Structure 1
Amino acid sequence: MKEKVMQAYEKLAGDYERHVDKQSGHNAYYERPAMIELLPGDMSQMTVLDAGCAAGWYTEHMLQQGARVTAIDLSPAMVEACKRRVGDQATVLTCDLTEALPFEFETFDLIVSSLTLHYIDDWAPTFREFERVLKPGGTLIFSVHHPFMDFQHFNRPDYFAHELLSEVWNKQESGPVEVTFYRRPMQEIINATSSRFGIKQIVEPQPSPVYKDHPEAREWYGKWYDRLMANPHFLIVKAEKSS
């Protein structure tokens, strides 16, 4: 499974670097505005881990808010894309979130993980490491596929199953790429998180109306706005390590 994920994102890295920010409405107008609502506006002096940085959009955003950012990703091609984006402003490393992280205890004030954890089968080791490297009182914010969205989209027979799914994404540069990920019920997401952290907020995002009249966004809003206003596609969790 790990090899499948890495191979897919090695192929997708060029699309993420050059096209996702403006051409993927699910990222630009849906997931990112909802995540940003949960992030501190002023991140001066904060140490932040971008866990699953892809081509570095969140890394760059948090740098602009004054944070000291370490960005990690399983895909070497994504790591290189992130480095091209932020230069030497952040530490960017190839890391596997299913293994021990190369950081000292209580290093970070905040961990942000955008649309990454659904590629991991067992969250227990990952959350154990997140807890270890977070400072007391530190915050974890992550987004994943909404479990009911995958249940409906793939017409699955058992909502409560923890299962491996795949679909083909056809992107501008990569062409068709098979992307594989795990679906799990809401209770598993909540229980895995609360086993290590105190849950502060659950968000089932709706599209931000802010960009609705932007010329580059009109096509996406016309296709997706009403649907996503009634049917969540992603789930966001904000949690906190005990002090």
Structure 2
Amino acid sequence: MKTELRKVFDALSTIYETQVDSSSYYNAEYERPGMLAEIAENLNDKSILDAGCAAGWYTNELLVRGASVTAIDISPQMVEAARRRIGERGKIYCVDLEQALPFADASFDIIVSSLTLHYIRDWSSTFKEFNRILKKGGEIIYSVHHPFMDIKNAGEQGYFETEAYVDSWHKDGQKFEVPMFRRPLHAIINETTKAFKLNAVKELKPTEQLKELARGSYDYLMSHPHFLVVKGTKE
């Protein structure tokens, strides 16, 4: 599955680099505003890991806010796209979040992970590594698929297990089969609290601007929640 995931995101890298920022309301008017509201505007003197950076949108935003940013992604082509976006302003590596992370203990003040963890079956080892590389009192802020969305997309599979499924994405006239995992809400919360103090769980709402831009999408997201934002602290 990991090989397939890497291949599909390599294939998606150009679309992420050139189109997603401007064409996807689900990013621009839904997930990103919800995540950014949980991140300080002034990140001067903060060291941040962007875990699952894709084409580097969050990497750039965190740099603009003053942070020292290290970004990682499993897709080599996404890594190259992110490098084109930020140049020499940050560090970017091709890293698998299911493996030991190549960073020293207590390296980061904050870990940001946008819509990445649902590609990982076992969060326990990943969160253990996140805890290791965070400083005491450091924060983790991540977004993930809402279980409501996943169970609808997964069809007849059961709710209470962590299960693999494949989602079909249609972008730029192409169809992409994207492998991922769905899990129930209690698994999201319990895995987080094994490693961190839970500070907040936020079910995202679309921006009011989306109501003007695409009322149908706004109404749909208000009745069909797609993403959660979870925030925790290393004690």
Q: Same fold (TM over 0.5)?
A: yes
Shift of 1:163: 0.7
Pairwise CA RMSD: 1.1
Matches of 2:171 and 2:223 in 1, distance apart?
A: 27
TM-score by length of 2: 0.97
3-state SS of paired residue (1:164): strand
8 Å CA contact retained: 2:35, 2:229: yes
TM-score by length of 1: 0.94
Matched ranges for 1:199-214 at <5 A: 199-210=198-209, 212-213=211-212
3-state SS of paired residue (2:225): coil
3-state SS of paired residue (1:89): coil
Shift of 1:211: 5.1
8 Å CA contact retained: 1:148, 1:159: no
Match of 2:122 in 1: 122
Shift of 1:149: 1.2
Identity %: 47
Gaps in structure 1 of 5+ consecutive residues: none
Matches of 1:210 and 1:105 in 2, distance apart?
A: 42
8 Å CA contact retained: 2:119, 2:179: yes
Match of 1:178 in 2: 177
Residues 44-99 of structure 1 show CA distances to partners (whole Å, capped at 9, x for unaligned) of: 01000000000000000000000000000000000000000000000010000000
Alignment CA distance shift 1:157-1:77 (3 Å): closer
Shift of 1:223: 2.6
Question: Structure 1 stretches (4+) deviating beyond 6 angstroms?
Answer: none
Residues 120-179 of structure 1 show CA distances to partners (whole Å, capped at 9, x for unaligned) of: 010011001000000000000011110121112333342112111102212117x21110
Matches of 1:149 and 1:22 in 2, distance apart?
A: 23
Letter in 2 for 1:177: F
Q: For 2:227, which of 217, 228, 234 is the aligned residue?
A: 234
Matched ranges for 1:126-165 at <5 A: 126-165=126-165
Match of 1:188 in 2: 187
